[in-house]
Amino acid sequence: MAALAAAPDSDQTGPAVLRGGTDAPAVPSRSVVIFSGIQPTGRKHLGNHIGGIRQYVAGQDKAAPAIYCIVDLHAVTVEYEPVKLRERVYDTTAILLAAGLDPERCILFRQGDVHEHAELSWLLSSVTSVGELNRMHQFRDKSAQQRRLVSAGLLFYPVLQAADVLAYRADEVPVGEDQREHLELMRDVAERFNGRFGETLVLPASRIPEVGARVLDLQDPARKMSTTGATEQGTVYVLDEPGTIAKKFRRAVTDSGSEIVRAEDKPGVTNLIEILAVVRGVSPEAVEHDFAGRGYGDLKTAVGDEVAGWLAPVRERYEALRGDDSQLEGILAEGAEKARAIAAGTLADVREAMGVGPARRSVGPAT
Ligand code: ATP
Ligand code: MG
């Protein structure tokens, strides 16, 4: 049952639409806003690069603004080492910059620097159903992996994620297929909020790539390539050396038969075809056509070599960027300031709509 049914009745009438903070026009003209978050795991993999990062880079030319966040507050929901978290944030920042994010053309920041996310998350929890959270696949998978403690934070992860996105009134959220469910949940949350408290939040749409939305573990094509819970040999890291990448692809598990076509009973081959299509910037059909009559070995060698060539410049730029913590910190701090300016406006509107804190004084003509 939806949470709304369990929520106390409200006799409030909804407030007028308030967008962009107190002094913004009621209905400002706005171009598309893109938002996405990525975990500071440091070792980002090919699935992250294809499903997420590649789209973030493209989003910079399309959105005003494109906002990207390194989600340290999400990272603390599973076991982690506090002394390493900051380092992993810098690793991830450097990977994103190396892949093509440009702080002049996007807002790049660390989630924990913008306190509005945490407060908004709490406020949104009042229109989030525990039943829905409990059903999320990510919660089910990750809670099963926890040895010591299944934290309430892990259950709440999608609420914080909803706050991340809704704080910026984002229209589009570039993500991989695994996040579809969370995106649907955050749309439900926004819709329920607007229904109960008045039109305040924007319902975001997921942007899931047509090809490469779910890159599979090369050793276990029944699973997605993943930071947690995948095999080391089946996971290609953005920072792997070219030789390592080629070797991982050469050892990729393929399927029975010999034809190079995409099919449900050929997840391993389908995965390789899709990866190569993304790297070449062509359709999977074009790859199938190119490899007609050739063997799996040829395909594995080609994908390995081409992925290695594709990622090499990212690794090289990373090496150049990663050494300077203070430069990375400066970029994140500047990003956080810009992010805060937007998120604070939304949070003020949400508080006003919910009756939290003192009423906002209406700005009338000076007397
Ligand atoms: P974890 O497994 O711990 O959740 P992760 O590998 O999913 O880690 P995230 O930082 O959570 O890493 O994901 C960053 C982005 O990469 C998200 O948009 C996610 O949807 C996308 N992504 C993750 N894995 C894949 C994959 N195998 N294929 C395509 N996209 C992926
Ligand atoms: Mg993930």
pLDDT digits (tens, 9 = 90+) for 287-322: 999 999 999 999 999 999 999 999 999 999 999 999
Q: Which domains does the chain have, with CATH numbers?
A: 16-213+325-354 (3.40.50.620), 242-321 (1.10.240.10)
What's the CA-to-centroid distance between 161 and ligand 1, angstroms?
14
Average pLDDT, the chain: 91
CA-to-CA distance for 245 and 277, rounded, in angstroms? 17
- 13: how many CB neighbours lie within 10 A of its CB? 7
CA-to-CA distance for 219 and 217, rounded, in angstroms? 5
| pLDDT value at residue 229 | 76
pLDDT band at 30 (very low <50, low <70, confident <90, very high): low
Pick the residue whose CA is nearest to atom 16 on ligand 1.
Answer: 48
Q: How many residues does the chain have?
A: 367
**Does residue 133 carry a pLDDT above 70?**
yes
**Does residue 147 carry a pLDDT above 70?**
yes
| pLDDT value at residue 13 | 31
The model carries a pTM of 0.90
| Ligand that lies nearest to the alpha carbon of residue 226, given by its number in the listed order | 1
Atom of ligand 1 nearest to the CA of 175: 18
Inter-residue contact 117 to 163 (CB < 8 Å): yes
| Ligand that lies nearest to the alpha carbon of residue 177, given by its number in the listed order | 1
| pLDDT value at residue 75 | 96
39 lines ligand 1 (CB under 6 A): yes
| pLDDT value at residue 7 | 32
User: What are the tokens at 209?
Assistant: 């790539």
| pLDDT value at residue 360 | 87
Percent of the chain with pLDDT over 70: 90
The single residue listed with the structure tokens 């009745």 is 9
Averaged pLDDT, 79-84: 94
CA-to-CA distance for 72 and 219, rounded, in angstroms? 29
Averaged pLDDT, 28-41: 87
Q: Which residues of 150-177 are buried (b: 16+ CB within 10 A; e: fewer)?
A: bbeebbbbbbbbbbbbbbbbbbbbbbbb
Phi, psi of 69 (to 5 degrees): -130, 135
Pick the residue whose CA is nearest to atom 23 on ligand 1.
Answer: 48
Atom of ligand 1 nearest to the CA of 225: 27
Choose one of 34, 38, 43, 48 to mutate for the ligand 1 pocket test, by most ligand atoms within 8 angstroms of C-beta.
48
What's the CA-to-centroid distance between 120 and ligand 2, angstroms?
21
CA-to-CA distance for 265 and 285, rounded, in angstroms? 17
| pLDDT value at residue 362 | 67
Angle between the 82-99 and 325-354 helix axes, to the nearest 10 degrees? 100
Inter-residue contact 124 to 159 (CB < 8 Å): yes
DSSP 3-state assignment of 349?
Answer: helix
**Does residue 20 carry a pLDDT above 70?**
no
